[in-house]
A and B are shown apart, each in its own frame.
Chain A
Amino acid sequence: MNKFIGIVCLVLVAVSTSFVLDSDPYVAMKDVAGFKTKLNQKNQTITSMKCDFTQEKSLSFMAQKVISKGNMKFKKPDMMKLEYTTPFQYIMSLYKGKVVIKDNGKVNKYDAKSNKLFKYVNDLMINAVQGNVLDSKEFAIVFKENSKFFLMEMTPVDAAMKEYVNKVNVYVSKTDFGVVKVEMTEKSGDYTLISFINRVYNTPIKDEEFVVQ
């Protein structure tokens, strides 16, 4: 009997969870022009941003999800630093056209423009964290929304890039028009979801903070 009640409870929890998940579905955005205007206005006010992030990577092949954490800083026009702190230490900094990676205590520098993939990912990240993708010629964008977020579903135009990234979803908060999540989905369906938390805008950040040594 207890077993039966347990099973019924589990089913109820599952049903109610799926109901909650589906209760706020994304639908086509009603006012795309208004959204674009407000997002552009927000972007114009941003000079810098600092935040923590959580990165969830799905490994569908292994039926696993792995979570890493770190912090990020961004400064206009083109400086960004992603620092992973858990469970590994890894820094990627974009500074004056160079990609600098610090891994395992070693620093390597690359020209951001010398590699198509690097440039693509760099531009994507820098533009995505600002929500500055509206005029992108590299993506076809579908605009959606639910009660909490605006969603830009971006599909790469370049077939070669689709080998790496099939779709990029950028979630924008309806409260402050800040980008709160970026989700990259691969051809296989595996996704990487980066959530930006504790976002602080327009605090002074020195250029030197993007230098990695």
Chain B
Amino acid sequence: MKNLLFNKLIYGVVIFILLASCSRHTFKKASVESASPDTITTAFFQSDSIYYFKTNVRTYGKELSGILAIKQQHADTLKVSFFTEMGVSFFDALVMHDSYQLIRCIPQLDSKAVMGTIIEDIRWVVLFNRLQLRNAMRMQYRSTGKLVRFDYGNEFIFAELTEDNIPLKISYAYGSKFKSKFEVSYGMFDKQLPARVVVEHHNFNMKIELTAISFEQ
């Protein structure tokens, strides 16, 4: 079952590359209102250095579940582990802002395309790269509340923010038409920390649902 699922994951990434130009999710019609002083704020890693999420990955009708552990090693480094509920490891990785290093990984996941996608998702789950954002622009778009566009290298992050600049949703967009690769929704806030995070890819069929959990140490 899991072999099939991993094949699907790899297949999904290939499809993603092929269909990237066909995305229906774009911010093409969003217009710049003004330059903005806004930055994204978050409570992640303010009081704790490690977070655990019960994680479900769904792709093409197949499901994979496990526990995702994300620890801030330094301001610029995360340690990430993903393992099954029964304790068998999928992968361990060191994650930096613009690179990552796989410490170990099961063969089925060990591909640059698959891991690159998963690692970028994880960066945005805990908003690790928020300080890499530049050139904030307040946007006007549909009936969305406070929408701010940031430059993220050569790509873009569109963030729906509360008045306190806590993100409710971020979309990772690219190209002149601001097509969205994926979006991350944050919900069920407790002391400004989201207890539920959903990552949804638009260019291939993958949805990741994360629910915060606390382990007895």
- Chain A residues within 8 Å of B, Cβ to Cβ: 55, 57, 59, 61-62, 64-69, 82, 84, 86-88, 90, 92, 101, 103-104, 106, 108, 110, 114-115, 117-118, 121, 163-165, 184, 186-188, 190, 192
Contact = CB atoms under 8 A, between A and B. Distances in A.
Interface string B67-89: 10101000000010101011111
A192 B104 CA distance: 17
A87 B215 contact: yes
Which residue, B56, B69, B89, B107, has most C-beta atoms of chain A within 10 A?
Answer: B89
Contact of B71 (A64, A108, A115): A64
Interface of B: 1-3, 50, 52, 54, 56, 63, 65, 67, 69, 71, 79, 81, 83, 85-89, 92, 103-104, 106-107, 209, 211, 213-217
Contacts of B106: 163-164
A67 B79 contact: no
A55 B216 contact: no
Nearest to B87: A192
Contacts, number: 90
Leading 10 A-B pairs by shortest Cβ distance = A192-B87, A66-B215, A57-B87, A61-B92, A87-B213, A67-B216, A88-B54, A115-B1, A90-B85, A110-B1
Given A59-B81, A103-B65, A104-B56, A190 B215 contact: no
B100 to A, nearest CB: 14
A88 B85 contact: yes
Nearest to A110: B1
A121 to B, nearest CB: 7
Given A86-B216, A118-B1, A192-B86, A104 B81 contact: no
11 contacts: A61-B81, A64-B50, A66-B69, A88-B54, A88-B67, A101-B65, A103-B56, A115-B1, A121-B88, A165-B88, A188-B104
Contacts of B209: 104
Contacts of B217: 64-67
A65 B211 CA distance: 19
B89 A188 contact: yes
A184 B92 contact: no
Nearest to B94: A61
Contacts of B50: 62, 64
Contacts of B65: 90, 101, 103-104
A165 B107 CA distance: 14
B126 to A, nearest CB: 14
B51 to A, nearest CB: 11
B85 A84 contact: yes
B85 A108 contact: no
B83 A57 contact: yes
A129 to B, nearest CB: 13
A190 B69 CA distance: 15
